[in-house]
């Protein structure tokens, strides 16, 4: 590793590689996307829960159908 790739962290004084620098710079956007996806998944699960209690019947096919319906219902809710 060359000296050009290493920089010092201002807070801790440790040396950072180019990968550490890239991770620190891109973290905000990646974090934001992760939060949005997490909220969407949670909303879909919340909608799917009562459907699962009624229609699941231990079938994976039904499970996939229920989640597709829940995603559709979430889209419909956002239209209003």
Tell me how many domains the chain contains. 1
pLDDT digits (tens, 9 = 90+) for 44-63: 999 999 999 898 888 888 89
Q: Does the residue 27 lie in any domain?
A: yes
Q: Does the residue 1 lie in any domain?
A: no
Residue 2 has pLDDT above 50, yes or no: no
Q: Give the Cα-Cα-Cα angle 5, 7, 10 (nearest 5 degrees).
A: 165
Q: Contact, 13 vs 36, CB < 8 A?
A: no
pLDDT digits (tens, 9 = 90+) for 7-37: 555 566 667 677 666 666 666 666 777 788 8
Q: Rounded CA gap, 32 and 51, in Å?
A: 30
15: tokens are 């040396």
**12-26: b or e for each residue (b if 16 or more CB lie within 10 Å)?**
eeeebeeeeeeeeee
pTM here? 0.59
Q: Does the residue 2 lie in any domain?
A: no
Q: Higher-confidence residue: 42 or 2?
A: 42
The pLDDT value given to residue 72: 96
Q: Does the residue 7 lie in any domain?
A: no
């Amino acid at each position: 590793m060359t000296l050009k790739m290493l920089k010092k962290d201002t807070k801790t004084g440790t040396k950072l590689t180019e990968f550490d620098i890239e991770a620190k710079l891109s973290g905000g956007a990646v974090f934001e996307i992760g939060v949005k996806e997490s909220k969407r998944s949670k909303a879909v699960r919340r909608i799917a829960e009562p459907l699962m209690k009624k229609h699941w019947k231990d079938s994976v096919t039904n499970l996939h159908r229920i989640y597709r319906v829940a995603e559709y219902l979430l889209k419909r809710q956002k239209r209003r």
